[in-house]
């Protein structure tokens, strides 16, 4: 990927500005963690980055964006819909292609979901659904990950396993987290949002848990 420059005079929702003006430069190979209280603008910023750079990014939204009535397989396959013809996609909806199943199963195995490939997403727990959204992002094959609290429904060891997998797979990432210890473990650069502004932008190595707790 090339460097991304994100800037705006103001971002918000419901007619209310929650963040800005700001400028954010993301260099190739950087893993950024966004921190801040709920409602401070983390999700708004993440969605803005995705809107402006959709072709380069895989998004794990906080609401996951899964289709409950479809299987795990089909939800993950949607990460590559644009790579295939309409005919192939429709045929794969009715009868999953063996080649596509062979691409997706290894991801499910790494996420502990290999037995859920053809289960309906509606039948899964919240943590399992979150891992399906992670698998879809991995399957998409984008160079940049944008993830909004991607491990919030997972316990400690499982959350760390997923974070390690995401760090390994994506060259660059912007991830929102509430867990400051995990932010320091997996982020190279930490950005904190407070009172509508980017108030901290520092390498993780220079920061401590106590310093980051000030933003919650």
State the DSSP code for 126.
H
Tokens of 160: 């760390």
Sign of CA dihedral 144, 33, 126, 41: negative
Strand partners for 80:
none
**pLDDT tens across 92-151, in order?**
999 999 999 999 999 999 999 999 999 999 999 999 999 999 999 999 999 999 999 999
Edge-to-edge strand order for the sheet containing 172-176?
57-60, 144-148, 172-176, 31-35, 189-194, 197-203
User: Helix, strand, coil % (nearest 5) of the chain?
Assistant: 45, 25, 30
- Please give the pLDDT value at position 1: 65
Cβ neighbors of 110 (< 8 A, separation 6 or more) are 165
Most distant CA pair in the chain: distance in Å? Answer: 55
In the predicted structure, residue 2 carries a pLDDT above the cut 80: no
How many angstroms separate the CA atoms of 195 and 215, rounded? 10
Sign of CA dihedral 155, 134, 33, 13: negative
- Please give the pLDDT value at position 216: 86
**pLDDT tens across 176-215, in order?**
999 999 999 999 999 999 999 999 999 999 999 999 999 8
Q: Are 25 and 104 in contact (CB under 8 A)?
A: no
- Please give the pLDDT value at position 20: 87
Domain boundaries along the sequence of the chain = 4-213
State the DSSP code for 209.
H
Q: Which superfamily does CATH assign the domain made up of 4-213 to?
A: P-loop containing nucleotide triphosphate hydrolases (3.40.50.300)
Tokens of 14: 């419901």
**pLDDT tens across 29-88, in order?**
999 999 999 989 999 999 999 999 999 999 999 999 999 999 999 999 999 999 999 999
Q: Are 30 and 189 in contact (CB under 8 A)?
A: yes
Q: Are 146 and 49 in contact (CB under 8 A)?
A: yes
Q: How sure is the predictor about 12, in pLDDT bands with cuts at 50, 70 and 90? A: confident
- Please give the pLDDT value at position 103: 97
């Amino acid at each position: 990927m090339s460097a991304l420059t994100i800037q705006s005079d103001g971002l918000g929702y419901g007619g209310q500005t929650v963040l800005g003006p700001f400028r954010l430069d993301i260099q190739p190979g950087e893993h950024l963690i966004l921190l801040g209280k709920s409602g401070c603008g983390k999700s708004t910023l993440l969605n803005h980055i995705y809107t402006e750079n959709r072709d380069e990014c895989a998004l794990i939204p906080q609401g996951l964006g899964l289709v409950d009535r479809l299987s795990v397989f089909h939800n993950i396959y949607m990460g590559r819909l644009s790579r295939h013809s309409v005919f192939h996609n429709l045929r794969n909806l009715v009868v999953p292609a063996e080649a596509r199943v062979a691409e997706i199963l290894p991801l499910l195995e790494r996420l502990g979901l290999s037995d859920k490939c053809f289960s309906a997403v509606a039948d899964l727990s919240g943590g399992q659904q979150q891992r399906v959204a992670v698998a879809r992002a991995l399957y998409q094959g984008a160079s940049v990950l944008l993830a909004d609290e991607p491990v919030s429904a997972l316990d400690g060891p499982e959350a760390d396993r997923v974070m390690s997998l995401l760090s390994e797979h994506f060259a660059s990432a912007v991830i929102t987290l509430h867990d400051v210890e995990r932010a320091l473990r997996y982020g190279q650069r930490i950005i904190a949002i407070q009172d509508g502004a980017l108030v901290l932008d520092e390498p993780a190595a220079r920061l401590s848990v106590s310093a980051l707790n000030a933003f919650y």
